[in-house]
Amino acid sequence: MKKTKTFKFKESVGIDIGTHSVKVVHLKRLHEGFKLLNYEIRPTVPQGVEYIPSDLRPDRYAPVLVEIFKTLRINPKKVQHLVTSVGGDNTSIKQIKTIFLPDDELESALFFEAKKHIPISGTDMILDYQVLSVEEKTNNMNILLAATSKELLNEHTSTLVSAGLTPNIVDIDSLAVANSFALNAFVEEGVYVLLNLGAHRTNMVIWGPEARFFARDIPYGGYHFTRDIMRKRQMEFEEADEYKLKWGLLDDPSISESKTISMLDISEKSTEDAIVEEIRRSLRFYVKEAGTSDIRKLYMMGGTAKLKGLQEYIQEKVSIPTDVFMPFINVEMPEKFMDKKDPQLALAIGLAMRTE
């Protein structure tokens, strides 16, 4: 999703507005590649207030953005190249195949096609597309359709405007996840599973240089892990959230085992199991649809990728080599940021590295 106007820029800003935290990355463009100038991660819910996704209002984002830009000493009016993204139920990305169509027929045919594939009502849909390839033998076209609802885009635009920013390029979360990975990983052939583990959902993307693109959202994230801890360890939200940041899926050795186990309601499935089940189900679907099972690796990003024990758990249960994604491989890092290779910034980095 982009506006057509592009121009040469010296600095860029990528903004990932998540329901839990806003992430902003400020890059300088070098002759080749980028250098990290600064970044900021800031929660959108005040300390001590319980994060409940359904209770949160969209007008809380703009003040957080204003604070972040103040801290980073960036004048929002002077940002040259701003890239943001939207995600969730009112966005969709689908790779489809059609018979060959000339340019002048393509757009209206795709709109018609998109209505069949994408669960957004026709009158409310904004559609973008990219022709990925034309198959030599059959002349069929492989096309990536990207859609969002007008309402969502308007809400996003008004958040940025309220923060004094001028909206420019607006991407879709799952495409930005793939882009961040493609620009910051040593990609070989084959297929990669990318999980952007947020607070109330996880974008799952299956991507490979030559592979079929697949994206869907899994309705679990960090919030659900905190709820598990509340239930399992009989804690209030704040205490459970602190426990989560410190111990993740591991047991605090100072708490006696018998106490937690006796309180565990075994009838409810854990969040890690629910996520693993969703990954398995999507992979089965993908292998059947795309006709490949050459899955090389699974990468975790987003704030919940930092949850202790999760990487090992997923690797064991899904049987795919799994790692936490380090988003700065192709970004020059000043000394002061060297130890800060935070996977929570993955999407914002991918956005800031978009050149058009």
Ligand X SMILES: Nc1ncnc2c1ncn2[C@@H]1O[C@H](COP(=O)(O)OP(=O)(O)OP(=O)(O)O)[C@@H](O)[C@H]1O
Whether 16 and 351 have beta carbons less than 8 Å apart is answered as: yes
94 part of the interface to ligand X, by CB under 6 A: no
159 part of the interface to ligand X, by CB under 6 A: no
303 part of the interface to ligand X, by CB under 6 A: yes
14 part of the interface to Mg ion, by CB under 5 A: no
Minimal distance in Å, beta carbon 63 to Mg ion? Answer: 19
Taking the mean position of all CA atoms in its chain, how far away is CA 189?
A: 22
> Would you call 158 exposed, middle or buried from its count of C-beta atoms within 10 A (0-12, 13-18, 19+)?
middle
CA 64, CA 281: separation in Å to the nearest integer?
Answer: 37
The interface region with Mg ion, picked from 15-23, 207-215, 251-259, 286-294 by CB under 5 A, is 15-23
200 part of the interface to ligand X, by CB under 6 A: yes
Minimal distance in Å, beta carbon 217 to Mg ion? Answer: 10
18 part of the interface to Mg ion, by CB under 5 A: yes
The interface region with ligand X, picked from 19-27, 95-103, 107-115, 269-277 by CB under 6 A, is 19-27
175 part of the interface to ligand X, by CB under 6 A: no
How many residues line the site for Mg ion (CB under 5 A)? 2
148 part of the interface to ligand X, by CB under 6 A: no
Choosing from 12, 13, 15, 20, the residue that interacts with ligand X (CB under 6 A) is 20
SS3 call for 133: strand
Helices (H), the chain: 61-71, 103-117, 150-162, 173-183, 222-233, 237-247, 257-263, 271-290, 310-318, 346-352
Give the residue with the Cβ less far from Mg ion, 179 or 211.
Answer: 179
- Residue 69 neighbours by CB under 8 Å, 6+ apart: 24, 75, 76, 163, 164
Closest CA to 200 of 46, 310, 52, 90: 52
Choosing from 94, 156, 233, 244, the residue that interacts with ligand X (CB under 6 A) is 244
248 part of the interface to Mg ion, by CB under 5 A: no
Give the residue with the Cβ less far from ligand X, 58 or 209.
Answer: 58
Give the residue with the Cβ less far from Mg ion, 198 or 208.
Answer: 198
Give the residue with the Cβ less far from ligand X, 19 or 113.
Answer: 19
Pairing state of beta strands 295-301 and 91-98? unpaired
CA 23, CA 41: separation in Å to the nearest integer?
Answer: 5
Minimal distance in Å, beta carbon 280 to Mg ion? Answer: 23
The interface region with Mg ion, picked from 14-22, 33-41, 95-103, 289-297 by CB under 5 A, is 14-22
How wide is the angle at C-alpha 324 spanned by C-alphas 209 and 220, nearest 5°? 95
327 part of the interface to ligand X, by CB under 6 A: no
The interface region with ligand X, picked from 75-83, 241-249, 269-277, 279-287 by CB under 6 A, is 241-249
Binding mask 192-221 toward Mg ion (x if CB under 5 A, else -) reads: ------x-----------------------
Minimal distance in Å, beta carbon 89 to ligand X? Answer: 12
Cα dihedral across residues 146, 147, 153, 154: positive or negative: positive
Partner touching 208 among ligand X, Mg ion, none, CB below 5 to 8 Å by kind:
none
Whether 303 and 226 have beta carbons less than 8 Å apart is answered as: no
DSSP string, 93-113: EEEEEE----HHHHHHHHHHH
29 part of the interface to ligand X, by CB under 6 A: no
Give the residue with the Cβ less far from ligand X, 208 or 248.
Answer: 248
Minimal distance in Å, beta carbon 353 to Mg ion? Answer: 17
The CB-based long-range contact list for 317-322 (8 Å cut-off, 24+ gap) reads 317/273, 317/276, 318/276, 318/279, 318/280, 318/283, 320/193, 320/295, 321/296, 321/297, 322/297, 322/298
Residues that bind ligand X (CB under 6 A): 18-21, 198-201, 221-223, 244-245, 248, 302-304, 306-307, 344
